[in-house]
A and B are shown apart, each in its own frame.
Chain A
Amino acid sequence: DADVTQTPRNRITKTGKRIMLECSQTKGHDRMYWYRQDPGLGLRLIYYSFDVKDINKGEISDGYSVSRQAQAKFSLSLESAIPNQTALYFCATSDQQGDQPQHFGDGTRLSIL
C-alpha cells in the first residue's frame, strides 16, 4: 500500500461546485502539506499542518480550506470551484526531523469546467 494515498485520482467538475480532495498517510508523520502544480510553475504550497491542532496558510491559500481530521488525514476543500483552480494537487508528509516534504501522494488531477 502507498504511504500517502490521495483520492480521487482524477476529478472533473463544474464551476461553483464544492470539492473535497482527501489525503491519508501511513507514515505516522506529524506534518502534512497540500501543493498545487501548474504547467510552467512547479509546485506551490496551499496549506500545511504541523499537527492536528495546527493549520497554516501557504503561498496560495485563497479559495481553499483544509481540515486535519486526525494525524493521518488531511483534506483540501474548494468551497466554490472556479476554472483557474484546474491543476494537479499533491499531498505530502514529513516527520519532525525532516526538513523537506519526504513522501508525496500520486496527485489528484482536478479539472473544473
Chain B
Amino acid sequence: AQTVTQSQPEMSVQEAETVTLSCTYDTSESNYYLFWYKQPPSRQMILVIRQEAYKQQNATENRFSVNFQKAAKSFSLKISDSQLGDTAMYFCAFMKPHNNNDMRFGAGTRLTVKP
C-alpha cells in the first residue's frame, strides 16, 4: 500500500515571504498522481495543485508551485508571497490513475502566516 509522509506538523512564515512544505511518499507504481489540498479554518478541503508523475515539468498554480522529485519520491509545495489567507492545514495526497477510490493522504502540515 502507498504511504504519504508529511514530516512537518506545524510551520509558520511571515507575510510576503516564501515557505516550502515537505511531502514524501512510498510506492512501487510508475504512474500516479500527487496532490496538495488546503483546509482553511472553514474546514472545506480545497484542491491547490495536482501533478502527474509522467510529467517532468513541475506544476504551478499562481503563487503555488511544486518540486517533484520522482526518483526521491518527494513532492514539496512552495508558497510564494505568502498571504494571511494561506493560513490553513495542507495535506499531501497520492493516487493511482483511474483509481480514485484509493487516494492516500498525509497527516497534514499546519501553516500559519504571520502579519
Residues on A facing B (Cβ under 8 Å): 31, 33, 40-45, 48, 56, 58-59, 88, 90, 92, 94, 98-102, 104-107
Interfacial chain B residues near A41, Cβ < 8 Å: 107
Looking at the assembled complex, report how far the CB atom of A89 sits from the nearest CB atom of chain B, in whole angstroms.
Answer: 11
Main secondary structure of the interface of B (DSSP, over half): loop
Interface size class of B (residues with CB under 8 A): 20 to 34
Taking a contact as CB atoms closer than 8 A, the residue among A31, A44, A99 that contacts B95 in the complex is: A99
B35 sits at the interface (CB 8 A): yes
B11 sits at the interface (CB 8 A): no
User: Given A40-B107, A56-B101, A58-B101, does the pair A100, B45 have CB atoms closer than 8 Å?
Assistant: no
Residues on B facing A (Cβ under 8 Å): 4, 9, 33, 35, 42-47, 50, 91, 93, 95, 97-98, 100-108
Taking a contact as CB atoms closer than 8 A, the residue among B44, B101, B104 that contacts A104 in the complex is: B44
Interfacial chain B residues near A43, Cβ < 8 Å: 45, 91, 93, 103, 105
Question: How far apart sit A45 and B2, CA to CA, in the bound complex (Å)?
Answer: 14
Question: How far apart sit A57 and B43, CA to CA, in the bound complex (Å)?
Answer: 24
Looking at the assembled complex, report how far the CB atom of A109 sits from the nearest CB atom of chain B, in whole angstroms.
Answer: 8
Taking a contact as CB atoms closer than 8 A, the residue among A48, A58, A106 that contacts B44 in the complex is: A106
Interfacial chain B residues near A94, Cβ < 8 Å: 100
